[in-house]
Amino acid sequence: TDKLKEHFRSKIEPYNKKVKDFVAQYGDQKMGEYTIAQVYQGMRGITGLIYETSKLDPEEGIRFRGYSIPEIQEKLPKYPGGKQPLPEGLFYLLLMDELPDDDAVRRMSNNWVRRAQVPPHVFKVIDSLPQHAHPMTQFIAGITALRTESEFQKAYRQGISKKDYWDPVYEDAMNLIARLPRVAAYIYRRTYRNGDHIEPDPRLDYSANFAHMLGFDNPEFYELMRLYLTIHADHEGGNVSAHAIRLVGSALSDPYLAFAAGMAGLAGPLHGLANQEVIRWVLDMKKELGGGLPSKEEIAEYVKKTLTEGKVVPGFGHAVLRKTDPRYMAQREFALEHMPHDPMFLLISRIYEVVPEILEATGKVKNPWPNVDAHSGQLLMYYGLVEYDFYTVLFGVSRALGTMASLIWDRALGFPIERPGSTTTDILMQKYAK
């Protein structure tokens, strides 16, 4: 038996009761009002979702089940001798709403190892794409191909009762999380290492095994991967990837389809693809300025040129955050500890000193501070993972942890199909522009 699943099962009934009682008693309370402008502005600031695993505060940043990034770095179990939290522990926290001990984390690690086998046809589907296909194209194709293994799809055909949906969704979510690193590493090795693939090592933890399959067996890189996979995991429910996964999952499309939809969103340059765009932009800047560490004035010039050309400065700004992203700070601290003199780190730090003031001066950018993507590429480049088109795949593997924990809860709580209303400008004008 899956002890983790039994533990999760024990949480469902009390939580359902809590939600039902709350809605019965307070369901008619107003949560707020919204304006016509907000509807035109991507529903910014309208709270329209229940998403239990994490909550984003504009000033403080993300809290995973109430814990901030520094708190989870302190409280989650670590690899012996390591300093960074193990993402297995973060997933346990998100799913169970309780901090795991070392034993629980080991159980999660072993559970995923048992589920990690990727069927050969998935590799064939990936191999059928041209080698130059963007890694996110390959990733989405691979995830969709994995869907042949869906327990939910099978159970639905066999007529499963609504109240049991969560069970095969749990199976699919756990299998998907367990298999993603192999799929991602396969894409990396086929695209950038002549298809010289590396077998998984089941003795390693989730992050170290992923790093190993990518071909990076440096204990410091293992630690980076533990940090990376933990901090990218979840960012409340309204970001494009999490929201797409929730939305598609609400039609009872299985977790593979829902996750593939989310990854299609993550592949957009305003969302997860920004991590590759940052490095591309920085390398272009270096090329244009003739190598070496550009001065603050040179950087400022380059930033202004980017804006004049009608482009965004990648890695800066956020739809919700109004301060420097604590995920940026966690990565900066990692760099300060492990590579304070790395030229690329010095450049990223200098960009951080220059950009906010310029964005602020535009008078329209609501958050001039850096987000998670402004830093992640530098750390990867330092250890030799320089193929930046691959970076969003790493983000995607991590994002499975939060969104799959959340999707299991969606079905455990019996959430309905998501279907907000829409209207037209003419209808609004008839009503308001009298």
CB 207, CB 226: distance < 8 Å: yes
List the catalytic residue out of 134, 212, 243, 271: 271
What span, in angstroms and rounded, lies between the C-alpha atoms of 85 and 229? 9
Closest CA to 239 of 54, 423, 109: 54
CB 73, CB 66: distance < 8 Å: no
Residue 172 among the catalytic residues: no
What, of ligand NMX, ligand MLT, none, does residue 312 touch, CB below 5 to 8 Å by kind?
ligand NMX
Among 100, 314, 326, 377, binds ligand NMX (CB under 6 A): 314
Query: Nearest to ligand MLT by Cβ — which residue?
Result: 239
What Å distances lie between residue 253 and 18, 27, 150, 232, 237, CA to CA?
27, 28, 10, 24, 18
Nearer to ligand NMX, 86 or 231 (CB): 231
List the catalytic residue out of 172, 234, 325, 373: 373
Using CB under 6 A, which of the segments 159-167, 242-250, 279-287, 308-316 binds ligand NMX?
A: 308-316
Least distance CB 127 / ligand MLT (angstroms) = 30
Question: How would you list the strands of the sheet with 54-57, edge to edge?
Answer: 54-57, 61-64, 67-68
CA atoms within 13 A on the CB side of 235: 27
Annotate each residue in 335-374 with x if it binds ligand NMX (CB under 6 A) or - if it does not, as one string. Answer: ------------------------x----xxxx---xxx-
What, of ligand NMX, ligand MLT, none, does residue 171 touch, CB below 5 to 8 Å by kind?
none
Using CB under 6 A, which of the segments 74-82, 120-128, 205-213, 268-276 binds ligand NMX?
A: 268-276
What, of ligand MLT, ligand NMX, none, does residue 147 touch, CB below 5 to 8 Å by kind?
none
Beta partners for residue 57, in sequence order: 61
What span, in angstroms and rounded, lies between the C-alpha atoms of 170 and 148? 16
Put residue 2 in one of left, alpha, beta given phi > 0 → left and psi -120 to 50 → alpha. beta
Binding site for ligand MLT (CB under 6 A): 235, 239, 271, 319-320, 371-372
Residue 318 among the catalytic residues: yes
Least distance CB 12 / ligand MLT (angstroms) = 27
What, of ligand MLT, ligand NMX, none, does residue 317 touch, CB below 5 to 8 Å by kind?
ligand NMX
What, of ligand NMX, ligand MLT, none, does residue 366 touch, CB below 5 to 8 Å by kind?
ligand NMX
What span, in angstroms and rounded, lies between the C-alpha atoms of 427 and 434? 12
What span, in angstroms and rounded, lies between the C-alpha atoms of 382 and 331? 13
The answer to whether the Cα torsion of 17, 18, 19, 21 is positive or negative is positive
Nearer to ligand NMX, 88 or 277 (CB): 277
The helix, strand and coil proportions of the chain, stated in percent and rounded to the nearest 5, come to 60, 5, 35
Residue 271 among the catalytic residues: yes
DSSP 80: T
List the catalytic residue out of 212, 318, 375, 410: 318
Among 271, 375, 399, 411, binds ligand NMX (CB under 6 A): 271
Binding site for ligand NMX (CB under 6 A): 270-272, 274, 307, 312-319, 359, 364-367, 371-373
Q: Which residues are catalytic?
A: 271, 318, 373
